[in-house]
Structure 1
Amino acid sequence: MKRRPRRSVPATLTAVVLLAACAFVAVAAIQPIVGETPWVSYRSVADALHGARWTDLVPAIAGGVAALLGLVLLLTAILPGKLTVLPLLGELDSGASRRSYRSTLRAAVSTVDGVSAAKVKLKRRKVSVKVTTGRTSTGGLADAVRGALERRLDQIVPAVRPAVKVKVHAVRSAS
């Protein structure tokens, strides 16, 4: 089970921009019919567009911005995002959400003696853990944390076993 994130933010932004543009054009088209003064004069827009040349700076910048925006939207649609459900091995098609995966790893780290706080980051093929301890001597703590994480990963049985990276930060110094 591999569930990818929905692309709702770029789709929503695109829809809102297009809706605003359509509403503006509709209001500008309806105002002369109703007999009100239009927000934008058709004559001034037409004169500005007829006077513009392809070699001018403004059309080049507008074209570049439009091309860049299109490329960003295309890459957002094509490139895969982070998995929202991480696949697990087993007979059933099962998975764990990133949040629960991170929480269970953080819980395993917090059981290690000497750990006062832990931050767990899930990356594509790596789990990074930053441990804070009140000890003055941090010798062996990283290995103990790594061992606890490895045991928990053995229980979870992820489809892709991540590499474990542990950093230990001591609040107090040994001096």
Structure 2
Amino acid sequence: MSAALSPDSWDEIAPARSVWLITLADLALLLVGFFVLLQAHREADRSKLLAGLRSGFGAEMPAPVGPMAVARARVEGYAPGGTSADLGAALAWARDAARDTRTVITITGSTTPEDDVDPRTGSAAILAADRARAVAVALVAQGAVSPDRLILRVAPGQRRAVTLSVGFAGDPENQTGDPQ
């Protein structure tokens, strides 16, 4: 006859496996699985793989990195609701700044918060866009910079001006996004 075990004797029975060993084995299998995933996607597009991993973990995409600004100029003297100003100095500055083909020029049109709106639509954003577009058209018309090296932005509610920022965008031959 076998002896009956009392509830107090359960502590005396040794487990078949240690709990930490099972946890370690699970961790090792997860790590091996991750490396198998990386090896399987070795030829895949790196940005798509990273985006998939971010979405799987619920992480948001990082903000796109634009060209690093290295110098700025400003066009002022706009009348309220107007799109014309003296562009001479800014165009000369932009022509000089755009000599390096690794740069882009960001043109940001802006308006003041009070009564500086487009006369036809009443929109400050449209007026800011019109100001930026007028500067961009003047730059392209003078042959100072090609249109593919211009970025237009609007910032209504800032000040009555257009800001030109020359930024370093990198070598056109190396547009993979990988640091060298």
TM bin (shorter chain): under 0.3
Q: Which has the higher contact order (CA 8 A, sep 6+)?
A: 2
Question: Normalization by structure 2: what TM-score?
Answer: 0.26
Structure of higher CA gyration radius: 2
Task: Say which structure is richer in helix.
Answer: 1
Scaled by the length of structure 1, the TM-score of the pair is 0.26
